[in-house]
């Protein structure tokens, strides 16, 4: 069984996000980029399934400019077998990403697609659901435990009321939550080996997908700065202050 893992190149989680002066988007010039943390978790889970003998190959797929190959190499250094790079010039919206992934998946015929539940740059949380709909496959989102079986996979997912366990017939799409696992660090020997692992380069035209944006970003703004606290001298003054604030909100 093959496992396909989509991985996105995003702003590193340690970097403080800055908005462009004209409000057109997030500043990406001279900013450290790395693999989306949720996608690292997805790769780790795929590797664990392979190491348990229930999968034969892990394929990392990424969509983006030439620098996106670094993200694929990072996944190969963790232990993935090969990569697929769909080259694009500009940002690609979730629906177009799902359509491109559908093309890759139809060519690879995997038993599972495991991907991060969302990217930390846009927080859309849409691609996995759109991909499952386009493929007509069952899906389980926010997975905190994945147990593959014979033709089925059991997924425990986090919901508002606690935990929900689903059994999906494979092939299926799974999106990962933070508590699924702890991703491994790539060892130096594996980093060297990753340089020799194959990356298949494709374009949106290969899959007949139009990646022209359908959405227009009107404005991007930073969250408002926190206002300073107020010191009160007594409990009664605190209660009065809270009543004033509550009245102002109504």
In tens digits, the chain (250 residues) has pLDDT values of 999 999 999 888 888 888 888 887 778 778 888 999 999 999 999 999 999 999 999 999 999 989 899 999 999 999 999 999 999 988 889 999 999 999 999 999 999 999 999 888 888 889 999 999 999 999 999 999 999 999 999 999 988 888 999 999 999 999 999 989 999 998 899 999 999 999 999 999 999 999 998 888 888 888 888 877 888 889 988 888 888 877 766 6
Rounded Cα–Cα distance for residues 144 and 50 (Å): 18
Residue 200: name the closest of 90, 85, 80 by CA.
Answer: 85
**φ and ψ at residue 192, rounded to 5 degrees:** -70, -40
Q: What is the CATH number of the domain that holds 31?
A: 3.40.50.620
Q: Is 195 helix (H, G, I), strand (E, B) or coil?
A: coil
The confidence score (pLDDT) of residue 248 equals 67
The domain tally of the chain equals 1
Q: Is 160 helix (H, G, I), strand (E, B) or coil?
A: coil
| Alpha carbon separation from 102 to 37, 98, 221, 242 (Å, rounded) | 22, 6, 33, 53
Residue 64: name the closest of 137, 10, 124 by CA.
Answer: 10
Give me the domain span that covers residue 170. Answer: 2-249
């Amino acid at each position: 069984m093959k496992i396909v893992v989509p991985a996105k190149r995003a702003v590193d989680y340690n970097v403080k996000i800055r908005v462009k002066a004209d409000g057109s988007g997030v500043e990406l010039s001279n900013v450290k980029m790395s693999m989306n943390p949720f996608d690292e978790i997805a790769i780790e889970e795929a590797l664990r399934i392979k190491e348990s003998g229930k999968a034969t190959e892990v394929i990392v797929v990424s969509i983006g400019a030439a620098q996106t190959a670094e993200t694929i190499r990072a996944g190969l250094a963790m232990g993935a077998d090969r990569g697929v790079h769909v080259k694009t010039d500009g940002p690609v919206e979730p629906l177009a990403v799902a359509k491109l992934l559908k093309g890759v998946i139809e060519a690879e015929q995997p038993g599972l697609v495991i991907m991060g539940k969302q990217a930390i740059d846009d927080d859309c949380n849409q691609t996995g659901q759109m991909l499952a709909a386009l493929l007509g496959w069952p899906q389980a989102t926010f997975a905190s435990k994945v147990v593959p079986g014979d033709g089925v996979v059991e997924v425990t997912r986090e919901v508002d009321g606690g935990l929900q366990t689903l059994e999906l017939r494979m092939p299926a799409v799974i999106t990962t939550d933070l508590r699924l696992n702890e991703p491994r660090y790539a060892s130096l020997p594996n980093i060297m080996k990753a340089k020799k692992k194959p990356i298949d380069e494709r374009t949106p035209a290969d899959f007949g997908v139009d990646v022209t944006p359908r959405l227009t970003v009107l404005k991007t703004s930073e969250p408002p700065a926190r206002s300073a606290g107020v010191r009160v001298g007594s409990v009664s003054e605190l209660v009065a202050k809270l009543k004033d604030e509550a009245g102002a909100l109504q």
